[in-house]
Amino acid sequence: MTLLLSRIQPELVSCNATVLHTGTDEKGRYFVTAETVFYPQGGGQMSDVGSVTHNGQLFAVKQVLMNGGEGRHYLAEGQSSLEKGAEVQLDIDVAFRQRASIAHTAGHLISHVVETLMPSLIPAKGHHFLPGSYVEFSGNSTLSAEQLLEQVREKVQQAIDANLRVTTGTLSFDEIARLRPELAGAIPQNEEIRTVTIGGYLPFACGGTHAANTGALQGLELRKIKAKDRVKISYEIV
């Protein structure tokens, strides 16, 4: 098992670790450590990128993916292999993490605004990759797509200007199910679930990284909306 420091100390950008084992799969060569400062791809968020340093040599880490509870750090093409037992330093690309965190928080904020304006729309999917970020909702809107988008834009900007705090916490599955019965079926029934809360909105179960406040989302643009089988709002950070 790999301990994900991003979940308990998201401010960390570097850590020391020991290589437990290495391997190769369809994604390339990888190494595994007991703990990592890297956020692995998942929950709609991009994996961190960065570097690993061993004996003064720096190697690029292009992606981190979870597999059976272990975090596989994939080395960029042409990088030398690390050996089991190697003492290494892991460093994330801080600017990349910041943009990924802002994109994730933006997706949450848009979802909060939509479900508040139109309770019949239920958050169904968040894809917070850059570029190409979007959030999807099941259900139907009583407004036209363009009317809904315009109102969401206005409320999102108000929330950004209000500089709402973004906080993390933990709740039991029962507490989450009581607060968000419409989402309970998609939440793992763990004893303790990590949550992210923006201002006074209801918490979302989430293991990702986020901005410290909504003021960091200045420059968020809601580009377009589609309302066919689902309502889909695409956005970007400019």
Architecture of the domain whose range is 97-237: 2-Layer Sandwich (3.30)
Task: Give the residue-averaged pLDDT of 85-112.
Answer: 98
pLDDT tens-digit profile of 198-208? 999 999 999 99
Mean pLDDT of the chain: 95
Distance between CA 39 and CA 207 in Å, rounded?
9
**pLDDT value at residue 138:** 95
pLDDT(103) > 90: yes
Which ranges in the chain are annotated with CATH 3.30.980.10? 97-237
More confident residue, 82 or 38: 38
Which ranges in the chain are annotated with CATH 2.40.30.130? 3-92
pLDDT(80) > 90: no
pLDDT(78) > 80: no
- Position 178: which residue type? R
- Position 201: which residue type? Y
C-alpha 76 chain-centroid distance: 22
- Position 174: which residue type? D
What the block records as the tokens of 154 is: 């206005």
> Is residue 87 a contact partner of residue 16, using CB atoms and an 8 Å limit?
yes
| Percent of the chain residues topping a pLDDT of 90 | 89
Radius of gyration for the alpha carbons in the chain, expressed in angstroms and rounded:
19
Architecture of the domain whose range is 3-92: Beta Barrel (2.40)
pLDDT(189) > 90: no
Task: Give the residue-averaged pLDDT of 7-17.
Answer: 95
What the block records as the tokens of 235 is: 């956005």
114 pLDDT band, cuts 50/70/90, is: very high
Distance between CA 130 and CA 145 in Å, rounded?
24
Q: pTM of the prediction? A: 0.94
* CA distances for 120 relative to 108, 159, 165, 184, angstroms: 17, 21, 26, 16
Residue in this structure with the two tokens 């901005």, named with its chain if needed: 211
**pLDDT value at residue 79:** 72
Read out DSSP for 87-112? EEEEEE-HHHHHHHHHHHHHHHHHHH
pLDDT(186) > 90: no
> Is residue 137 a contact partner of residue 120, using CB atoms and an 8 Å limit?
no
Considering only CA atoms, which of 217, 196, 198 is closest in space to residue 206?
A: 196
